[in-house]
Structure 1
Amino acid sequence: MVTTTTLKGTRIFRNVFFMASFLFCTSLFAQDAVNEEKGILQFETPVLDYGTIAHNADGVRSFKFKNVGNAPIVITSVKGSCGCTVPTKPDAPIMPGETAEIGVKYATNRVGAFTKSVTVTSNASEGTMLLKIKGTVLPAATAASATPDKKSGK
């Protein structure tokens, strides 16, 4: 015959065993997260300011960064927020301590103020990062009058 004391003891044993198993498994996953090696992207600046630039000027700039983590970084994609912003990425992995650049070309044939973004996807600890470019493209007539006349020197 099974007594109520035996049933209570079995339940307590099951509960203690379940809790111990749960805590053990949790501690294993926590160790994996702590020991995991990751690259870390450290950009000189997350925003490139073109300032005021002439119409049809050179719109090529770059975001410089360093891998300050402890594992190589592979950038899988870089995407501009529109067709006027064309980014380029490094093809090779960026090893710990190395520096690299993400290039960006803005179409300066578009007049006026602009703020665009570049989304960077990688295996770094950040996963996905958002970079920004901004500036103002002058109208063609304003840009021409701001350029000194070669004959007069004005």
Structure 2
Amino acid sequence: MKKLILGLSALSLIAFTSCKENAAKKIEEANVIAAAERDAVASKFPKIEFNETEHDFGEIEKGTPVETTFTYKNVGEAPLVITDIKSSCGCTVPKDWSREPLAPGKSAEFSVKFNGSGANKISKTITVTANTEKGSEIVKITAFVKPEAAE
């Protein structure tokens, strides 16, 4: 019986050690190069730069709609894609932005219309969602809305 257990132990030991290969031998050089290139490209993001990050309409009459255009440029190393632009309230409407990828070095624009609601100093934020490293950028509009004259 002892010989049988000793024989099976020896056979098991040989079987387990013979299957052991050097893992480094299984790595293909082409895969290492492809992974390095993929990682290098993954760290390159588009970067958005605005002509202005805050636009002041100055003093406006209550209920008077005003509009401005924000110009932006892709100063990053990859194509910029703007997926959404939203304002902090329904009185401010962003529009006319391109959903097409913007190549590095190229410029584009979008407009923002404010309906003139509110009173006194107002400030509204517009969130630009894009494939930048941060994921979103913010621009603002401000105005002083003159209250309606009492009759």
Match of 2:80, as an amino acid?
I
Match of 1:84, as an amino acid?
C
- Work out the CA distance in 2 between the residues paired with 1:111 and 1:41: 32
Distance 1:30 1:53, change over 3 A: farther
Match of 1:119 among 101, 123, 127: 127
Other structure's SS at 1:103 match: strand
Match of residue 18 from structure 1: none
Q: Percent sequence identity over matched residues?
A: 36
- Work out the CA distance in 2 between the residues paired with 1:56 and 1:88: 20
Please tell me whether the aligned partners of residues 62 and 145 of structure 2 are also in contact (alpha carbons under 8 angstroms). Answer: yes
Post-superposition, which runs of at least 4 consecutive aligned residues in structure 1 deviate over 6 A?
Answer: none
Which residues of structure 1 form unaligned runs of 5+? 1-28, 143-154
Give the paired residue count. 132
Other structure's SS at 1:114 match: strand
Which residues of structure 2 form unaligned runs of 5+? 1-34
1:39 maps to 2:49: no
Match of 1:93 among 94, 101, 111: 101
Aligned-CA RMSD value? 3.6
Please tell me whether the aligned partners of residues 75 and 89 of structure 1 are also in contact (alpha carbons under 8 angstroms). Answer: no
Offset at 1:97? Answer: 1.1
Greater Cα radius of gyration, structure 1 or 2: 2
Alignment of 1:78-89 (within 5 A): 78-89=85-96
Offset at 1:34? Answer: 4.7
